[in-house]
Homo-oligomer: A and B are copies of this chain.
Amino acid sequence: MVTPIENRAAVTQNHCVPFVPDAVDRRLLRLLQEDAGRTLRELGELVGLSPSAVQRRIRGYRAAGVVAREVAVLDPAALGPTTLAVVLVTLDHESAEHHAAFRTRMRHEPRVQQCYDLAGQWDYVVVLVTDSLAECRALSDRLFLGDGNVRRYDTLPVLDPVKTGLTVPLPEP
């Protein structure tokens, strides 16, 4: 007998058709975003399904790329004094090569926590995690001045991380 192709997973990998979650999928995904450490039995009890049904669904989320990864979130403050900063950056030369070089640099620097390409007056916003404002300054100089292709950057030090996370909203109804 021929194994039937799983539609949702297969098509979604073509980056064409989105994964369409039902009400239970949305509840499960909300629970997994909150705490990925729960057992299949716990999750099953919370959504009213057997452990293996939960497992099948979660397997589907991974296959469809809906669940990209599972990670531990560290609290930098527990490891010692930490400075966060949001940096707005505009490049000087706007060629594809210059942009690619900048992005590669951001992806390789561990103290760059996030980097987004922007529309508008600024080209990028970058979130830096350092031990101190001094280290932040030194890193900015190296990252944004060393290369010579940054026209201007503006550093906005973070006073308080009011809300952090990577949570994606999943409407209830």
Which residues of A approach B to under 8 Å, CB–CB? Answer: 12, 15, 18-19, 21, 29, 32-37, 64-82, 84, 86, 103, 106-107, 110-120, 122, 124-125, 129, 156-170
Residues from chain B with Cβ under 8 Å of A34 in the complex: 71
Q: CB distance B64 to A78 under 8 Å?
A: yes
Q: CB distance B117 to A160 under 8 Å?
A: yes
State the number of copies, please: 2
Residues from chain B with Cβ under 8 Å of A66 in the complex: 74-75, 78-79
Q: CB distance B167 to A110 under 8 Å?
A: yes
Q: CB distance A70 to B36 under 8 Å?
A: yes
A103 to B161, CA, bound (A): 10
A120 to B87, CA, bound (A): 12
Task: Please judge, given known A-B contacts A119-B156, A162-B106, A167-B113, whether A75 and B68 are in contact too, CB under 8 Å.
Answer: yes
